[in-house]
Structure 1
């Protein structure tokens, strides 16, 4: 191993690719409370639980129903 390395031509973050993005979404209060309760019961962050739900929907190629 060298005593010193020259990073003068290095590019910060060249190989870094964020796995997740931060995005604001609007949720109804009862929906948020549901996910917060379920997440607390399972010991995970509620944002992760929402992401898991959306990922499962995506994997199953679910159809979106817009009528209540």
Structure 2
């Protein structure tokens, strides 16, 4: 680690990033969703190409869960 850093965080933002000039943002817009929790999963491109929408993904996963449960109950 750089010896010039003395346990203080340095401001690494560029001077052109003037956040005081940003307008229209809503603070905390998604905080309720965040607190409720999310389970986002990024699909590989080839897998995503097989499903037209989220309902198709959910349907396929539910079917897989069902098959796995049946398999486990028989063994």
Q: TM-score range by the shorter chain?
A: 0.3 to 0.5
Given the two structures, how large is their TM-score scaled by the length of structure 2? 0.33
Given the two structures, how large is their TM-score scaled by the length of structure 1? 0.36
Structure number with bigger Rg: 2
Higher helix share: 2
- Higher relative contact order at CA 8 Å, sep ≥6: structure 1 or structure 2? 1
